[in-house]
Amino acid sequence: MARIIALLSLLIALPVLADTPQPAAPGQKAILVTGASTGIGRRITEKLAGDGYFVYAGARKDADLKALGEIKNVQAIRLDVTKPEEIAAAVATVTQGGKGLYGLINNAGIAAVGSVADTTLEEFELVMAVNVGGPYRMTKAFLPLITAQKGRIITIGSISGILASPDLPAYSMSKHAMEAFTDSLAAQMKGTGVQVSVVEPGNYDSRIGVNAAKREGIDNSRADRSKYKKPDEVAAAVAQALSEANPRRRYMVVPNQQEAERTIAKQIEQLVQLNEGQPYTYDRDELTKMLDAALATSQPKTRPETH
């Protein structure tokens, strides 16, 4: 009886795979992508698999697991980033796969639409559990494997974490938290060979709005994001952060100049607010010197100007 109970416990602990695990080619780097079923996560999975990485693609629904498992170089695993038992099972699967883990892409995320007054505490806590707790749990669980390969940890943030939309307080808070998470983690990883980045998309096509509207039971006409560009540029930024020798700490990826300008202007506005009216206020010349020093270490434009 004890052996039967032990066997059942082991089976319960293992993740449900969408298909027979695909063998990884010799020397193939393994990457884990959370929230891989649709939108940005699905496009990241397709891009990395097409580039020759072996991708563990995390999803929750059977249909999504099956679809992901049919992609070459992809092994789908059942993974809810709020459930410690599924994270532990994913660690076991990756470890048993024998390829280790070079990269973790913390992509899984949800949105909540509504003001502070209108958003329920349950909805707020769910957003934090997925968007903040998820990357924290996943990183903590997979850090030994990534450190062993001197790999990469990339979190999908958002320009909403800087702009702080009035209709998305919980979501904006969660993405702002990823700014601090990235910087703190990068400081901790200094000297280990592990590189840490955050990719911050603007408005791209995804189901995050529709899913939020459906979950909250509200009108989803404004939540439909199909009018926006497909997130190919976001996936390309993730691939860049994985492959370049000296990845940037932040990759802002926006579909147009207007979103870029709004985001940078917001950061400057916050700088001015921090600087004003305090005993150690810097004047314009001093601030310019600081800016020049920071720009001296920055990378040049990645794309030529268009006219």
Q: Is residue 263 part of a domain?
A: no
- According to DSSP, the β-strands at 250-253 and 103-106 are unpaired
Query: Count of domains in the chain?
Result: 1
* 283 falls within a domain: no
Is there a domain that residue 274 lies in? no
The pLDDT-based confidence of 27 (bands split at 50, 70, 90) is confident
Residue 136 falls in the annotated catalytic set: no
Q: For residue 33, what is the domain's CATH number? A: 3.40.50.720
Q: Does any domain span residue 271? A: no
Instruction: With respect to residue 278, please indicate whether it lies within any of the assigned structural domains.
Output: no
Average the pLDDT over 35-45 and give the result.
96
Please identify which of the residues 53, 56, 171, 204 carries the catalytic annotation. 171
- Contact indicator for 225, 278 with CB cutoff of 8 Å: no
pLDDT at residue 40, as a whole number: 95
Q: What is the pLDDT of residues 156-172, one digit of tens each?
A: 999 999 999 888 999 99
AA identity, residue 94: V
Residue 16: inside a domain: yes
Domain presence at residue 267: no
- pTM attached to this predicted model: 0.86
**Rg of the chain on CA atoms, in Å:** 21
**pLDDT bucket at 114, cuts 50 / 70 / 90:** confident
Domain that holds residue 226: 2-257
